[in-house]
Amino acid sequence: MGMVFGKICVETPKFELIRSTEDYEIRKYSPSVIAEITYDPAQFNGDKDGGFKILANYIGVLGNPQNTTPEKIAMTAPVITRSAPEKIPMTRRWFGGGASADVVAGKVAALRRSLERDGYKVVGEFLLGRYNPPWSLPAFRTNEVMLPIE
C-alpha cells in the first residue's frame, strides 16, 4: 500500500555527493548494472509508462519472471527514460507530482539556467528519473531531472 502513496522501498543508486546547492546537486554515481529496453510508446497507446510493464514482467514484479532463467531480479529506482553520455550527472532536487512533458521541460530549463549561472557546461540531453511505479498516486510521486556536465 505504501507504494501507492509514494513510498520508495527499493534500492537506489549509490553516489558521491560532490556539491549541493539550493537548486541542484552534483553527484558522481558508482558503476552499476542496468536492464534496458527500447520501445515505441505507440505500442502502449502513447503511455510513456508502458516500458515499466515490460521491465516489471522481465524481473518478476508482476508475477513469474519472464527472463531466461526464470529468476526474480530485485527492483531498483529510478527508472530512467532516456540515455546520456558517461559524464558527471547534475541532479535537480526531487520534484513531486506528475512528470508531464510540460513539467519536465520547465524543470530541465530551470536546472540548465542554474548550472550555467554557476559556470557549468551542459554536455548532453536530460535524463528523467522516476522513483515510483505507475500505480503510485501522482501527488505522491518522486521524480528528478538530470543533466550531464563537464
CA atoms within 13 A on the CB side of 22: 0
Q: Is 1 helix (H, G, I), strand (E, B) or coil?
A: coil
Q: Where in the chain are the domains?
A: 2-30+77-149, 36-72
Strands (E), 54-141: 79-80, 88-92, 95-96, 127-130
The residues, any chain, with a CB within 8 Å of residue 69's CB and separated by 6 or more, are none
pLDDT tens digit at each of 150 positions of the chain: 555 666 777 788 888 899 999 999 998 888 877 777 777 767 766 666 667 778 888 888 888 888 888 888 887 777 776 654 455 666 666 788 888 889 999 999 999 999 999 999 998 888 888 888 888 888 889 999 999 888
Predicted pLDDT at 6: 64
